[in-house]
Amino acid sequence: MTYTDSGGAGHWQALRERIDARTARIAVMGLGYVGLPLALALAEAGFAVTGVDPDVAKCDAVNRGESYVGDVPGACVAAQVAAGRLLADPTPAPLAQADVVIICVPTPLSKGKDPDISYIVKAADGLSGAMHAGMLVVLESTTYPGTTEEILLPRVGQNGFAVGQDVFVAFSPERVDPGNKTYTIRNTPKVVGGVTPACLDLALALYAAIVERTVPVSSPATAEMVKILENTYRAINIGLVNEMAQICHRIGLDIWEVIAAASTKPFGYAPFYPGPGLGGHCIPIDPLYLTWKMRALSVQTRFIELADVVNAEMPRYVVQRVQDALNDDAKPLRGSRILVLGVTYKPDVADLRESPALTVMDLLLERGALVSYHDPYIERLALPEAGVLAGVALTDEALAAADCVLIHTAHAGYDWARVAAHARTIFDTRNAIETATYDGSARLYRL
- Cβ-Cβ contacts under 8 Å for 393 (sequence gap 6 or more): 374
- Cβ-Cβ contacts under 8 Å for 17 (sequence gap 6 or more): none
- Which member of 104, 199, 248, 282 is catalytic? 282
| E strand map for 220-300 | none
Chain-centroid distance of CA 288 in Å reads 14
Give the Cβ contact number of residue 218 at 10 Å. Answer: 10
Residue 248 annotated to the active site: no
What is the rounded CA–CA span in Å between residue 71 and residue 406? 27
Give the Cβ contact number of residue 365 at 10 Å. Answer: 17
- For residue 433, what are the CA distances in angstroms to 191, 293, 438? 39, 42, 7
**Where would I find the H helices in 83-219?**
118-128, 147, 153-156, 197-208
DSSP label at 323?
A: H
- For residue 51, what are the CA distances in angstroms to 21, 31, 75, 435? 21, 6, 17, 43
- Cβ-Cβ contacts under 8 Å for 408 (sequence gap 6 or more): 276, 340, 341, 342, 343, 356, 357, 360, 429, 430
CB 388 within 8 A of CB 382: yes
Chain-centroid distance of CA 299 in Å reads 27
What is the rounded CA–CA span in Å between residue 275 and residue 318? 9
CB 282 within 8 A of CB 108: no
CB 423 within 8 A of CB 400: yes
Catalytic residues: 282
